[in-house]
């Protein structure tokens, strides 16, 4: 048997699972490493060979990334291993030459099988342990305990950490519009599918319940299930106090159950190694078909109701195996939400929810448990065990990651088959070439709803999230409902919102949606430029024609957080609109800093960050500054502080001033105009060095490179700025304004002759202005002009 196969052909020789629940008498509160080691030991035993000998033969251990290390910045409440694969390997007596920590995503277990089966077939590995574990239930249960355990551990040895794998999965645009959790994202797809099918809300809810009710029956019989309770279709989808709405159409019972203590492991070797280890041939399971594909980013998808990547991956794996859906004995479709099963199993492969074979071998993520990124490892373990009990049968595993973003598929059987390379690359090219609508970041005007959801907090508050299409060009955008707009929330919560006409408006906090332009005007009335009596984060002083603005946050080195930015935006609106003010001076309180940029401490505390319409400091994103603005730089101008200074028309710095674009030192970029303005103002090499290293520039050097107009003594920047303002006040304010406008209009004209010949309406206005007439008369009469700015 199997003598005609290449001896490097990969075979699964062992699988193992382990779990514990906090409500059971045998609960021990094991760490993820301990859970994983127990599953790995079970896999070693399952091979039928000497576990110690198999462990010694392992040359590779690849670990699935735990939930708590799948996103940057998440706390590891009870600590963690700094080398998860080697921690597990050490506990089972293995010393692999290679240790891998896979990227995040539910596709990762099946992807690892596909990848390392290929590594074995290519002779680059002989014996591989794949393992993953989650102890999220224990972490929550014990994190507040007085004697809580410490799961931290250090393990020597190299680690191939592949990172979070978040490319394309997250964007500030999505986060700004409430797309911060899986239920919200998947609900958008679910509602788009419901609308495509023409189902009513009640009909679609019933179909979700009918899809998942059989899953609960499987989970009820699974000893590793975290929620082994059989439920009816109605129980799953009818909202109750225990089964509250989370994001329409999802109730709690139909979303992945994240609090679990579960682990699973898979052993893969070559046929040569399996024989050398003494693994009985009845334990061997072959990978007959496999595929790995990824969907385009959320807003780049042609149809939000479908997932062509998952369907293509499933079909390709079956084609490789030479079988159809009727030939399969078992299935496990990733089931974090109903849409994941609907898209692949029902719409893609034509299966029925009531298929007697069942669409899961574990019970599915909402009922067996959504073991973080490692769920599919359990599905593979169950599929392998069932394949052995029915030799020659075929089992399918489909694993989904991200927001229907990545899909890995595998077809398993004890029937011998040579290793074959899949054609995922060419299929991926087809997916990447699918048409997609243009994206609009700032949506304004009438639009239609493409898909939506309404989220529900425990306190009963609601919020709407919408994907829309602008009427005038079809551009796709994200939007949220206004927090107190019950009118649009009611529209989203009843009937069929998809296709409804709505009005979109961009605000500094993101795109907002209302049922009409009149309603939007009521919710977001146009701000009339005006000065307040008092500002919380600024001091504002009017001195004749000059407006002095002081950033008054000296304890934070005048770093700006959103409320301070909003005040500056409001003040500059009022300044530019006030004909009696001709020049503005901006400086910082105290003698330490002009502005230390963005207030990162505010951001680190989890506060929401936004920038007003005028940009950082109320200046960096304005289309033009129609009146002179002088930066009086006293001390540090770091990051955003330098970006503000670069935006101002004139800069006066005292001898202590320091300029730098320090964003790269904290993992950011100078995204408020620094990357554009500095290379246009400073020598290229200097600009590159400042941007790429965060190099600091002193006042004198900044002057030598033309970034500063004047140097003042220490503490004298404001006084020097007032002198410069007085010089501007001595000339025609109308001429100043027109000069600024013409410079702005011709800035993008590369050809100097064409720029000189540019006709500006502002010049025509100047020629008939009172200031032009007064200036000529005053010159002829040899007197000082009396400027009117009209």
Q: Residue 454 contacts by C-beta under 8 Å, 6 or more apart in sequence?
A: 247, 248, 462, 463, 464, 465, 489, 492, 493
Contact 219, 225 (CB under 8 A): yes
CA distance 193 to 201: 12
- According to DSSP, the residues that pair with 129 across neighbouring strands are 61, 267
Q: What is the CA radius of gyration of the chain?
A: 32
Q: Which long-range contacts (CB under 8 A, 24 or more apart) does 141-148 make?
A: 141/22, 141/29, 142/29, 142/78, 143/77, 143/78, 148/78
**153, 536, 663, 781: which one is catalytic?**
663
In the numeric block, which tokens belong to residue 326? Answer: 């009727």
**643, 689, 701, 745: which one is catalytic?**
643
Half-sphere exposure of 416 (CA within 13 A, CB side): 13
Cα-to-chain-centroid distance, residue 62: 25
Contact 547, 583 (CB under 8 A): yes
Q: Residue 521 contacts by C-beta under 8 Å, 6 or more apart in sequence?
A: none
Contact 627, 575 (CB under 8 A): yes
CA distance 597 to 649: 19
134 as an active site residue: the answer is no
643 as an active site residue: the answer is yes
- According to DSSP, the residues that pair with 12 across neighbouring strands are 268, 285
Contact 14, 47 (CB under 8 A): yes
Nearest Cα residue to 682 out of 672, 690, 673: 690
Q: Residue 304 contacts by C-beta under 8 Å, 6 or more apart in sequence?
A: 188, 189, 192, 298, 450, 451, 467
Give DSSP secondary structure letters for 223-281: TT-SS-----HHHHHS--SSS-EEETTEEGGGS-----EEEEEEEEEEHHHHHHHT--G
CA distance 548 to 539: 8
CA distance 467 to 68: 29
DSSP run (H or E) holding 113 = helix 108-121
Please tell me whether the peptide bond between 274 and the residue prior to it is cis, using omega within 30 degrees of 0: no
Q: How far, CA to CA in Å, does 343 sit from each of 98, 194, 227, 348, 391?
A: 37, 12, 25, 6, 30
Task: Give residue for tokens 């009409």.
Answer: 516
Q: Tell me the catalytic residues.
A: 643, 663
């Amino acid at each position: 048997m199997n003598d005609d196969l290449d001896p490097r052909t990969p075979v699964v020789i062992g699988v193992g699972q382990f779990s514990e629940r906090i409500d059971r008498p045998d609960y021990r509160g094991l760490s993820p490493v301990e859970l994983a080691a127990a599953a790995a030991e079970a896999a070693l035993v399952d091979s039928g060979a000497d576990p110690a000998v198999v462990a010694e033969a392992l040359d590779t251990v690849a670990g699935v990334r735990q939930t708590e290390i799948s996103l940057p910045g998440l706390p590891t409440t009870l600590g963690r291993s700094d080398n998860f694969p080697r921690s597990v390997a050490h506990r089972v007596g293995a010393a692999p030459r290679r240790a891998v920590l896979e990227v995040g995503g539910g596709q990762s277990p099946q992807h690892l099988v596909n990848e390392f089966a290929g590594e074995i077939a290519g002779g680059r590995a002989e014996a591989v342990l794949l393992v993953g574990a989650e102890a999220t239930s224990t972490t929550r249960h014990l994190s507040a305990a007085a004697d809580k355990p410490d799961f931290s551990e250090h393990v020597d040895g190299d680690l191939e950490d592949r990172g979070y794998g978040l490319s394309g999965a997250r964007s500030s645009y999505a986060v700004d519009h409430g797309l911060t959790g899986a239920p919200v994202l998947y609900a958008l797809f679910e509602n788009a599918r419901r609308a495509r099918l023409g189902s009513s809300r009640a009909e679609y809810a019933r179909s979700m319940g009918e899809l998942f009710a059989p899953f609960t029956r499987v989970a009820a019989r699974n000893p590793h299930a975290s929620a082994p309770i059989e439920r009816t279709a109605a129980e799953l989808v009818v909202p109750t106090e225990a089964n509250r709405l989370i994001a329409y159409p999802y109730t709690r019972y139909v979303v992945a159950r994240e609090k679990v203590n579960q682990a699973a492991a898979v052993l893969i070797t070559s046929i040569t190694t399996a024989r050398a280890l003494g693994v009985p041939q009845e334990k061997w399971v072959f990978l007959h078909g496999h595929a790995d594909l990824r969907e385009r980013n959320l807003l780049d998808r042609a149809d939000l109701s479908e997932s062509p990547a998952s369907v293509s991956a499933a079909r390709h794996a079956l084609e490789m195996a030479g079988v159809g859906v009727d030939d399969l004995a078992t299935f496990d479709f990733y089931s974090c939400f109903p849409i994941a099963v609907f898209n692949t199993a029902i719409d893609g492969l034509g299966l029925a929810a009531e298929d007697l074979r069942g669409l899961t071998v574990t019970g599915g993520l909402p009922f067996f448990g959504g073991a973080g990124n490692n769920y599919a490892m359990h599905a593979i373990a169950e599929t392998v065990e069932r394949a052995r009990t029915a030799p020659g049968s075929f089992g399918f595993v489909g694993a989904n990651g991200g927001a229907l973003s990545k899909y890995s598929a595998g077809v398993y059987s004890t029937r011998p088959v040579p290793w074959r390379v899949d054609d995922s690359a060419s299929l991926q090219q087809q997916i990447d070439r699918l048409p997609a609508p243009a994206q609009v970041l700032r949506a304004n005007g009438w639009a239609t709803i493409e898909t939506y959801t309404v989220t529900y907090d425990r306190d009963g508050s609601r919020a709407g999230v919408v994907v829309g299409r602008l009427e005038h060009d079809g551009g796709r955008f994200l939007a949220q409902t206004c927090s107190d707009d019950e009118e649009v929330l009611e529209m989203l919560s009843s009937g069929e919102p998809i296709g409804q006409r709505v009005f979109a408006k961009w605000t500094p906090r993101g795109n907002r949606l209302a049922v009409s332009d009149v309603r939007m005007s009521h919710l977001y009335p146009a701000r009339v430029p005006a000065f307040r009596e008092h500002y919380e984060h600024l001091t504002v002083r009017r001195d004749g024609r000059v407006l002095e603005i002081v950033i008054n946050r000296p304890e934070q080195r005048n770093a700006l957080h959103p409320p301070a930015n909003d005040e500056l935006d409001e003040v500059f609106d009022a300044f530019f609109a006030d004909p009696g003010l001709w020049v503005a001076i901006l400086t910082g309180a105290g003698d330490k800093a002009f502005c230390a940029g963005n207030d990162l401490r505010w951001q680190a505390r989890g506060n929401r960050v936004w920038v007003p319409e005028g940009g950082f400091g109320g200046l960096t994103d304005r289309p033009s500054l129609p009146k002179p603005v002088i930066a009086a730089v006293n001390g540090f101008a770091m990051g955003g502080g330098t970006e503000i200074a670069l935006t101002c028309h004139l800069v006066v710095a005292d001898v202590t001033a320091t300029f730098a674009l320090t964003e790269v030192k904290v993992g950011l970029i100078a995204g408020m105009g620094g990357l554009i303005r500095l290379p246009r103002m400073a020598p290229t090499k200097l600009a590159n060095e400042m941007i790429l290293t965060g190099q600091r520039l002193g006042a004198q050097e900044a002057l030598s490179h033309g970034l500063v107009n004047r140097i003042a003594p220490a503490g004298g920047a404001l006084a020097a700025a007032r002198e410069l303002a007085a010089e501007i006040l001595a000339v025609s304010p109308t001429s100043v304004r027109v000069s600024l406008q013409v410079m702005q209009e011709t800035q993008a004209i590369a050809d100097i002759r064409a720029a000189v010949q540019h006709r500006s309406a502002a010049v025509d206005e100047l020629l008939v202005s009172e200031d032009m007439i007064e200036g000529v008369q005053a010159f002829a009469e040899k007197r000082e002009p009396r400027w009117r700015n009209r």
